[in-house]
Amino acid sequence: MTENDTSDFHPLSVLAQPIFDDVRAWNPNEPEFHQAVHEVLHSIGPVLERRPDYVDAGVLERLVEPERQVIFRVPWVDDSGKLRVNRGYRVQYSSVLGPYKGGLRFHPSVNISIIKFLGFEQIFKNALTGQGIGGGKGGSNFDPHGRSDAEVMRFCQSFMNELYRHLGEHTDVPAGDIGVGGREIGYLFGQYRKITNRHESGMFTGKGIGWGGAQVRTEATGYGAVFFAQEMLAVHGESLEGKRVGVSGSGNVAIYAIQKAAQLGATAVTASDSSGYVVDDAGIDVDLLRQIKEVERGRIVEYAKRRPSARFVEGGSVWEVPVDIAVPSATQNEVSGADAEALIANGVRAVSEGANMPCVPAAVAAFQQSDVLFAPGKAANAGGVATSALEMSQNAARQRWGFDDSERRLRDIMSDIHHAAFDAAERYGAPGDYVAGANIAGFERVANAMLAQGVI
């Protein structure tokens, strides 16, 4: 998406269009943020018609403007003794349902538009979980790839030296995202504890199991995306059994989507990174993929070198591979309109977004017009933040749940999210439209709380 590229956007209602015009005027050169806001505004047009009290109370005007935006300098020293400077962000969007909750992303592409789009999405995603958490997001343009553990530690400590003052288990609870895994979370939490002289386990999620983390948190986003696909198929009397699944990416979300798909009788045949993708018709070997990507921090081509049944394709699009189910799990806007057409031509039945907004508007429209079951990220990948909320609950009660119990709770939450989105779409005359349903269901929960709490 580019700043002025709105050709794929649907027309907005007369009540929503002025809000979008203001968003573009107040937030120039932020195309990802505009895209996220437009999608929600388009979906909730019918809600505004039925609920003029939302309009009269200025719910939308308040909702599209973050409660707080923090941008700060992050100086650190690399292993050669050279001073480096990066930029840090935290956008605290809405706390009406609970403390701000959302991950931290460390990646060179991070900018204010991406952080705001992610934070805005997080409002509705978190509302859908029913777990009493608000929406926020943060990160930095720091690239941990290729950096030593010592360099990552020094960066994380400097990052937390500023961010700590805006956090707390009752205020803002970060987690991981792209570029922020167990290593980074450990360094960030350790520095927070050092600075504040408080061991607030509940102020950070995605922690190690041995020091306050929750079972299934690592797996939750990928598992949840597959559970949501399973729920969509079940409505039509179908299952994952025997299906070919295409997955993009090779991080946490992709790895555990692949694993859960296999456990439910499907065969995941692809994984990718920025260098290209692999196709393994025998089914992706999760243990090998984890060894290469999580332990060795290597490139996806190494998988094909060690797996006789796999082949590596440099560049290109992973969506050229014929599959029944697609789970985009890499990054935003990775599935183009042409990619969607290729998937449709090859007979894709369902798409469940594991990443945040991985499909451009043209791709979403193509799927919906072709009767492909389509689950937007705010519903399909909500399993990660839902399990983060479960981790917060365990920390507050000083309890630990087992893996099977935690996975059962995750499955129940994903089923509830599916029903909420499905029912909302039915109520507003858009049966089967999970984009509209997820946006409406999440928006109603947030808007009702805003009305109850007054103008704040």
Alpha carbon 254 to chain centroid, angstroms:
12
Coil, strand or helix at 305:
helix
Give the closest residue to 182 by CA, choosing from 202, 210, 161, 148: 210
Copy the structure tokens of residue 244.
Answer: 């070919």
Coil, strand or helix at 182:
helix
Give the closest residue to 268 by CA, choosing from 213, 351, 222, 325: 325
Amino acid residing at 33: F
**Residue 156 CA: distances (Å) to CA of 97, 108, 184, 189:** 29, 15, 7, 9
Distance CA 265, CA 333 (A): 29
Active-site entry in 137, 207, 260, 378:
137
Helices assigned H by DSSP within 16-167: 17-26, 31-43, 45-50, 52-56, 59-63, 112-129, 149-163
Copy the structure tokens of residue 296.
Answer: 């060795």
The yes-or-no answer on residue 137 being catalytic is yes
Helix (H) or strand (E) holding 447: helix 434-453
Distance CA 182, CA 115 (A): 21
Distance CA 160, CA 168 (A): 12
Alpha carbon 115 to chain centroid, angstroms:
12
User: How many residues in total does the chain contain?
Assistant: 456
Which residues are catalytic, by number? Answer: 137
